[in-house]
Amino acid sequence: MSLYKFDGNRYTEANNENVRRTEGGRTVKKKTAGGSDGSAPQIQRREVPAAEASPQEGLTAAQAKELREAGWGNERVESPTKSDRQIIRENVFTYFNLIFAVLGICLIAVGDFSDLIFELLVVANTVIGIVQQLRSKRTIEKLSLLSANRVTAIREGTEIPVRAQELVRGDIVELCAGSQIPADGSVVLGQVQVNEGLLTGEADAVTKAPGERLLSGSFVISGRCRMRLEKVGGDSYAAQLTLEAKRGHAPAKSEMMRSLDRLIRVIGVALVPIGVALFYNQYAVQHLGLRQSVVSMVAALIGMIPEGLFFLTSVALAVSVIRLAQNRTLIHEMGAIETLARVDVLCVDKTGTVTAPEMELREVAALDPGSYPEELLRETLGAFFKALPPDNDTARAIEKAYPDGPAWPAVSTVPFTSAAKWSAVTFEGRGTFVLGAPESVLGGEFAPLEKRTRFYAEKGCRVLLLAECGGAREGRLEGIVMPAALLVLENPIRKNAPKTFAYFHAQGVAVKVISGDNPVTVSAVAAQAGIDGAGEWVDARELKDDQALVRAARKYTVFGRVSPNQKRKLVRALQAAGHTVAMTGDGVNDVLALKDADCGIAMASGADAAVKVAQLVLLDSDFSSMTRVVAEGRRVINNIQRASALYLVKNILSLFLALITLIAGFPYPFIPAQLTLISALTIGVPSFFLALEPNHDLVRGRFMHNVLRRAFPGGLTAIIVILFAELFVYTFGLELTELSAICVILMAVNGVTVICYAARPLNFPRLALIVSMSAALVVSMLTMGPAFSIQPMTAPAWLVCVVLTALVVPVQMGFEKLFDRCSERLRARAERSARRRTARETLRASRRK
């Protein structure tokens, strides 16, 4: 037995090292260890004599059962996915969950149960991650079940409908117009025209006669045949291509997730030594006692861990996933939401994205109005498909345009065949009319119409000729053929396509059309859809090497005759040029590019392989919904950036305060309960309101830079005022409980000030949020002070508190202005560097020319 080997552009037959040939045409597949790298799952097959069933009889029930039990069934073979147990394990057993568990055990060990409230956030964050991943997995399973198609198999001379998964190697299957080919095999009886667009990207019909190969994933568009299945399950073309796409590393994480990962690594490395040093300092140096030392150490470490930031990110992304699901969009990976918000190049296919998949009759151009007036043409076309039922997309489009045609009696009919490329009907008393490809109908007399038909073809249309003749029989027209009209059909531009592409153009997103069709046709269609630069096209067959392809990626907008591997290379070339690339696709030929794109987007109506590889699936297969998807991505990422600054203020303060405590020997001024109060009312609640607000601005800059820019002014202000509080308390000999109360008030005032800056520009809802949080802080401190260890203060302590509170706003304003000025200088420097780089590239290009 031979399998397919991927050569970069397509699969060719090659002997597989895990398959050995035996006597008598029997094959055995060795036990393989497939799995985590994307290889096929382990399949065990035993020797079964090859069955050569006749096209008329097919296999017997006993043969089919034996083959299925021996492992030669057409079961769906997927790249291994995470089980429910794996998803739960990966979300529960994380490094930070371990840290929080250890900190909780430390508090329990010293009898401090009131400060364990932070563990609730840890549990909630974990549960949200598990639920979202399980939900996505279940949705995909439902999609696969709904898309399972039934085919007609020949068993013991009888046609029986079976599910594609119930077929076996050697089965005889009957195919007609509209049938999807369930596995690889050969035509044994009849002839069909096949659309292999989902495999090759080319929409042209391919004729398949007895002895020729049929590949799984393609569709029959006309004719009828019987095929013998030869490569089933994981051996088929589509399965091999899917596994190739899944093999290798996981999809790249989004910029925000990479930034958060780096933050986790830095904090994770620092936590253990800082925690040990803090405990030693508090217990052995300052002699604060075991309980106080443990509580202070836990408070410092909790302050350094942005647990609320991860919780906020999980919730905001989960809410976004739900909103998108309500708009018929499925998110496989949460990171895809951010990637979409940053996309600046969108690669699309022509059919199904720019145009609708169904054909439409655009025009009927009369060639002899005197002999064939408009009314006669309309009646003839309506009657034609009442006498001869349509068996392909083109015929169905014409029938749809003339549903009320007259029921003229038909003497004889000649169905369409891919060899003749026409069909004909002889009407009683009205003559014979033929409809088909102009060059096939007219033969040597086609030249006078060639220029006119080419005019329509260059606009992306399909042209048929309606003519009258003396008679017709299979494969031959009789008498004089008299042209009556040209029928112009097209896949119409999607209704919302121009508006959608105008939106992306206005948002600064460049659109690249990558198709397997003729580049002239694709360019014409792109121009009709309003895609900027549609006139810049190239035939990918002329791009002989990778360097030529990289240059073309920068220069052209439309790419025609593109192979699957070239699609992948185009995506990589655009990424290498510094772009964030999204790729839409619906075919098996798209899966390699979908995998490598920063964000792969599949149409649910397309190939199952594309749906599984993509990070995002449009369930209604409507490309216009992309505007809502991108807007939602921008909303959630912009708001997460804004709200994240609130969390990092606390982390910056806690980190520097821990270092100051170690170096200067000051006691740590907070306990976990106090940090929980401050975090809830100046970070947690405000951040959730800010994270769910409308915000559709283009995401600019790098995530961590943007967040730190917003967080550092508040963090540095908090460090300065609390450091002064420590000095004043030490100078005036105040109690540690008073220091703690002063620092809580200073943190509250600083937190409200940070909210004011993060919520700019202020409107009524945001002002209401600020007033509400301020009131909640005051009420909590006055009515529940003892619960948070906030003790009454003496007059000197109040004096220190009032003076330092008055410094919070001016100090933070000063830092804001300083950081604004630095950011402007850095932005101006980056823009100058970009202009110089562009000028150098332009100069080099002109020298090459």
Residue by residue, DSSP assigns 8-20 as: SSSEEEE--TTEE
* Residues 6 or more apart in contact with residue 835 via CB below 8 angstroms: none
Q: Which residue has the higher pLDDT, 786 or 583?
A: 583
Give the mean model confidence (pLDDT) for residues 643-671. Answer: 80
Listing DSSP states for 710-740 in one string gives HHHHHHHHHHHHHHHHHHHHHHHT--HHHHH
Is residue 364 pLDDT above 80, yes or no?
Answer: yes
Q: Are 219 and 154 in contact (CB under 8 A)?
A: no
pLDDT at 636: 81
- Is-cis flag, bond preceding 390, omega within 30? no
The region that residue 393 occupies, defined by phi over 0 for left and psi between -120 and 50 for alpha, beta otherwise, is alpha
For residue 432, give the H/E element and its range: strand 431-436
Question: How does residue 29 score in pLDDT terms, banded at 50, 70 and 90?
Answer: very low
Residue percentage of the chain with pLDDT more than 70:
84
Dihedrals phi, psi of 7, to nearest 5 degrees: -105, 15
pLDDT at 232: 87
Closest CA to 195 of 172, 177, 171: 177
For residue 554, CA distances in Å to 510, 546, 558, 830 come to 11, 13, 11, 21
Instruction: Select from 217, 269, 76, 201 the least CA-distant residue to 592.
Output: 201
Residues 228/186, Cβ–Cβ less than 8 Å: yes
Band (21; pLDDT cuts 50, 70, 90): very low
What's the DSSP call for residue 355? B
Instruction: Supply φ then ψ for residue 606, to 5 degrees.
Output: -85, -160
Enzyme catalytic residues? 349
What percentage of the chain has pLDDT greater than the value 90? Answer: 19
Q: Which residue has the higher pLDDT, 527 or 326?
A: 527
The CA radius of gyration of the chain, in Å to the nearest whole number, is: 35
509: CB partners within 8 A, 6+ apart? 343, 344, 345, 346, 630
Tokens of 395: 């015929």
- Residue 64, pLDDT above cutoff 80: yes
Query: What are the tokens at 145?
Result: 């079940």
State the Cα–Cα distance between residues 658 and 300, nearest whole angstrom.
6
Distance CA 593, CA 827 (A): 33
Cα distance between residue 789 and residue 112, in whole Å: 13
752-to-29, 299, 386, 529, 772 alpha-carbon distances in Å: 68, 21, 75, 49, 10
The confidence band for 149, taking pLDDT boundaries of 50, 70 and 90, is: low
Confidence of residue 284 (pLDDT cuts 50, 70, 90): confident
- pLDDT for the residue numbered 469: 95
* H helix runs in 529-665, sequence order: 546-555, 564-576, 591-596, 608-613, 626-664
Using the Cα atoms of residue 388, residue 392, residue 396 and residue 399 in order, give the sign of their dihedral.
negative
Q: Virtual CA dihedral for 590, 591, 593, 597, nearest 10 degrees? A: 120
Q: Which secondary-structure segment (H or E) carries 88?
A: helix 84-92
In the predicted model, what is the mean pLDDT of residues 802-808?
Answer: 92
Tally: H helices and E strands in the chain: 27, 27
3-class DSSP assignment, residue 205: strand
Tokens 């299979």 belong to residue: 474
How far apart are alpha carbons 744 and 764 in whole angstroms?
28
pLDDT for residue 673 is more than 70: yes
Q: Name the pLDDT band for 248 (thresholds 50, 70, 90).
A: very low
Instruction: Tell me which residue has tokens 């002699």.
Output: 287
243, exposed or middle or buried, with CB in 10 Å at 0-12, 13-18, 19+? buried
Q: Kindly give the pairing relationship between strand 471-473 and strand 19-21.
A: unpaired
Q: What is the number of alpha carbons within 13 Å of residue 62 lying toward its C-beta?
A: 0
Q: Which pLDDT belongs to residue 811?
A: 92
Tell me, what's the pLDDT at 18? 37
Specify the pLDDT at position 608.
65
| pTM given for the model | 0.64
pLDDT at 199 over 50: yes
Distance CA 498, CA 509 (A): 14
- What is the structure's pLDDT at 759? 81
Q: What H or E segment, with its residue span, contains residue 477?
A: strand 476-478
Q: What is the rounded average pLDDT of the residues 741-767? A: 87
pLDDT band at 428 (very low <50, low <70, confident <90, very high): very high
- What is the mean pLDDT of the segment spanning 560-586? 86
Element (H, E) at 173: strand 172-176
